Structure 1
């Protein structure tokens, strides 16, 4: 798996030692040249700015014989004092700087982040380091094809301003890299069986309990909605569905339990409601939810936080077309015993999640302080509403407990800001089957992007179809549930083939470990 190691560097003299530990460049991420506390660095930077007006305004490389590697890369942080900016300005500067460092031939740069002065920038140095990992990651297909074999990869990044944080950052980066590999890889290399196998290899000897369900009879019995989505794929062995179950148990007493359902539609043709007009391109990324949850579990396996138990189910399926494909108007009884009329076969993700959540519901009722989440690239509507941001839609129990607001706070501090979206009575009205033949309608028959409340009402469906609706605020056993729609945040840049982000892995991890 792709990885660039982060290393804590406590002695700032490493900046001025050209042979020390092999550091071969100094990357300075700073909001201003005047903020540089080291006199030698400040003098060098200010002198260079007097000669070249780009210094301090855009990323530049300075010849610096007395510094590590003989070069100083200054990458300025833009607009950090703006009222509406957030910690991602440091991420942007770090990404620009590390790309430039790599272009100069550096393989072991030191990075110093200045201006991380608390408040919204409390974790600016950590966010900057993680952003370097995002910038440097290369697709699994390219790595396996050895496309960049002639290019010296970065080996490590020395961190001068994180204070013993390299262990945490490495664990987060490893989890994010696993998530990127799973999300970003094409649909044959990362089919449902291949995705499951990749997880088996990733979690071998990790301490994470892992089970893969692949038997068709078991899938159709225990995951009937998921199996309907994958019905046309059973005829092709390499496309057959899988459910991957993961569990992390801490040493000592369990104080809280987190349960995750991850949507892993490895390819979405739309099924019988076929995606047309080029809309199928990029649909190998419809597994971003399952990928992010798998990455989160990988991070947990490394850091082994105490007090929390984490259970995850990943639904891996190809929404294929063919003579066996499920169709609109079918009525299928899900794992929770709820009869669901299919409104559109291209609204398949919520069917996968409903069965997973129903299984997790049964575990949650016996768990200590449970919180349930679904993570999915679910709707185009969320992109229309919020652009590249994750949307969190809570049930009443989660909202009363402040789950979304706490998650939003941590996610913002760690560079993964999200939006809170309210679930309302209108959303439940949309899933009523007017025929009376079924209890629920899975969706309307228009694209979510042109449907009012197109990303909110699927959460209403998930509550009803999974049985979680029976665990509301007034129930004998209320269960907190939050649906995270990451259709806008799972990738960056190009909407079809942009680099996977692994969002919301970091925010979720911080939410779980911060009491």
Structure 2
């Protein structure tokens, strides 16, 4: 079995011989061989087209699970197929299914809002089949929920293409789920580094890992401040992980991704009190996305695009060595940063790496820089579960990047909402005291701060020096901050790997 898939996946072009299968899951298109039994059940069950049902087909002697889409309106999107597929697989497992066939929508849509319906149907099933890494490792006989997944469509060419595309996406999402969902010890920074080493062994991805404290102190002082308390415990000491893919042909563009990898966030000296610390092992899902995205890049090997990923893996621990509010730290860029709240550690751990990548981007073709993070409760509150937020700087906004990302995310089932950076976001972080340049944060939760998810992007631009590379500068650089607090998947839900699909569709496909 593929180490980065939940089970074996098999393409099926015919439903004539079902001797090795025990369950068929139908979402939308009913195969002709099952049409009679579907009509029979529909005739006496008024809820048949709106509820998940499981029944036996007497003709084929096989279990059938029907998970209808229900009535769709103008506000539904392609994710309805993934949700229905998840329900179907869940019901099949509860019924005892081990060898399950998933029937794809028969219509091949090449345009419109449901053109990725088949892809989402497969990805929904694979999402439901994911088994957390610690269960796979600790209880090997539970490492799979089913033995094999068959995928059926009558058009062999279409089937092969959509299955291949789905598995490339899923291997990336699988790795992102492992990293993002692992507990604070299983996916502490050194163990993330080991996982990534195995993930990219003998591949086309160049891997570099920085663990030397002297190097971190010299080159990544904001990251080092966050890492200070954790660094006294070897198994918690931070890592900065570089993943680099070089296009085999002349590169026409460069995508650079810097991910927040806070493996556990206690809040530091500004400790998360009142029970809100639970679930903070998911604060590394930005970096987890970067690792998963680079797995997708490795699989697809884009011909004309260079891709660099930086995973900033750190634990925001509390103790006598932890950094505290009122400290002034000189960033890699030279900006003097006053700490306002140690629970605003995500922006700190990414800013120095962003500064370094800014310098590299200046010599690379058509560069676009990103920071990706489960950064603010404000983002989660603003857009809700299942949605990422994009904030573009001037050069990225001028090229219509946010609109393109939103359009592609809506189509492929990985949606974005657009937020706009304003002058007030920068003013909020500009120091009023001589000897300080940037204020890291105020002392309120982001959810109680006006423009609480926009201002951190402004901070990272100021702390990294990216504010000097706007539209009217001599060296404009495109930069987008992605807050994925709403889309990454909070405990106890399975991590999603978002926004892998939307970023791939916009920048690679």
Q: Same fold (TM over 0.5)?
A: yes
Partner of 1:28: 26
From 441, 444, 451, the counterpart of 1:443: 441
8 Å Cα contact 1:376-1:485 kept in structure 2: yes
* Counterparts of 1:353 and 1:183, CA distance in 2: 17
Shift of 1:153: 2.5
C-alpha distance after superposition, 1:234-263 (max 9, x if no partner): 111111110000001122121111000000
Shift of 1:65: 4.3
Partner of 1:309: 306
CA RMSD of aligned residues (A): 1.7
From 493, 497, 502, the counterpart of 1:502: 497
From 138, 151, 159, the counterpart of 1:158: 151
Report matched runs for 1:194-273 at 5 Å: 194-273=191-270
* Counterparts of 2:445 and 2:288, CA distance in 1: 24
Shift of 1:387: 0.9
Greater shift, 152-161 or 467-476, is seen at 152-161
* Counterparts of 2:362 and 2:142, CA distance in 1: 51
Shift of 1:78: 2.3
Report matched runs for 1:366-385 at 5 Å: 366-385=363-382
Report matched runs for 1:112-191 at 5 Å: 112-114=103-105, 117=109, 118-146=111-139, 149=142, 153-160=146-153, 162-163=158-159, 164-191=161-188
Partner of 2:76: 85
Shift of 1:173: 0.6
From 100, 107, 114, the counterpart of 1:109: 100
Partner of 2:291: 294
* SS of equivalent to 1:181: helix
- Structure 1 gaps of 5+ residues are none
* Counterparts of 1:467 and 1:364, CA distance in 2: 13
8 Å Cα contact 1:184-1:500 kept in structure 2: yes
Partner of 1:513: 508
Partner of 2:190: 193
The 1:510/1:5 distance shift into structure 2, 3 A limit, reads farther
Q: Is 2:19 aligned against 1:16?
A: no
Partner of 1:52: 45
Shift of 1:60: 1.5
Shift of 1:151: 7.4
Partner of 2:88: 97
* Counterparts of 2:253 and 2:189, CA distance in 1: 31
From 423, 426, 439, the counterpart of 1:425: 423
* Counterparts of 1:151 and 1:165, CA distance in 2: 23
8 Å Cα contact 2:264-2:282 kept in structure 1: yes
8 Å Cα contact 1:15-1:110 kept in structure 2: no
8 Å Cα contact 1:5-1:170 kept in structure 2: no
- Structure 2 gaps of 5+ residues are none
Aligned length: 499
Give the TM-score taking structure 1 as reference length: 0.93
Partner of 1:489: 487
* SS of equivalent to 2:27: strand
* Counterparts of 2:83 and 2:43, CA distance in 1: 25
Q: Is 2:273 aligned against 1:276?
A: yes
* Counterparts of 2:125 and 2:434, CA distance in 1: 54
C-alpha distance after superposition, 1:256-284 (max 9, x if no partner): 11000000000111111111111111111
8 Å Cα contact 2:210-2:239 kept in structure 1: yes
Give the TM-score taking structure 2 as reference length: 0.94
From 400, 403, 408, the counterpart of 2:401: 403
* Counterparts of 1:159 and 1:436, CA distance in 2: 67
The 1:132/1:39 distance shift into structure 2, 3 A limit, reads closer
The 1:17/1:356 distance shift into structure 2, 3 A limit, reads same
* Counterparts of 1:465 and 1:282, CA distance in 2: 28
8 Å Cα contact 1:28-1:72 kept in structure 2: yes
